[in-house]
Amino acid sequence: MPCLMLVKAGDSPVPPSGGRWLNMEVVTVVDVGQPLGNGEFTPQNGGGFYHVTVTDRDKEDLAILQYLEPVWDNTDPQNPVMLKRRNLYLDPSNPIILPMEDPQGDGSIEVTFTTLVSATEVTVP
């Protein structure tokens, strides 16, 4: 099953902090079809996130997990908590981004994992 990445559309309107999401930052990965929360829709549908469907991976795929590089607190194995992950951004100058930002579009794209990686910039906190 493909996975869905939620990518921040525009900077969050809050003061700079560790939890502030910036434009084109990869925020989370969910299963395609998972119900979305308030505000997790595309800008064209009243939300604050672009949707990137990765067609050839699911959210538990090792390549996706390595891409995100999370750090987990596994003190309670039944309820692991993600402490942090590296900051990932989609390069706004990459051609795959254009359809996502098109006001006439739906704020989403479908890509393969290889294409996603080629459009990603990494910053380490």
Polymer length of the chain: 125
pLDDT at position 84 is: 62
Rounded Cα distance between 105 and 10, Å, is 17
- What is the Cα–Cα distance from 50 to 61, expressed in whole angstroms? 21
pLDDT value at 125 more than 60: no
Neighbour count for residue 112 (Cβ, 10 Å): 12
> Looking at residue 17, what is its pLDDT?
66
pLDDT score for 123: 65
Domain boundaries of the chain, sorted by first residue: 3-123
pLDDT tens column, 36-77: 988 899 988 888 999 999 999 999 998 888 888 777 778 888
Looking at per-residue pLDDT, the higher value among 66 and 15 belongs to 66
- C-beta of residue 116 within 8 angstroms of C-beta of residue 52: yes
Kindly state the DSSP code that residue 89 receives in the 8-state scheme. E
Distances from the Cα of 73 to the Cαs of 21, 70, 79, 95, in angstroms?
22, 10, 9, 37
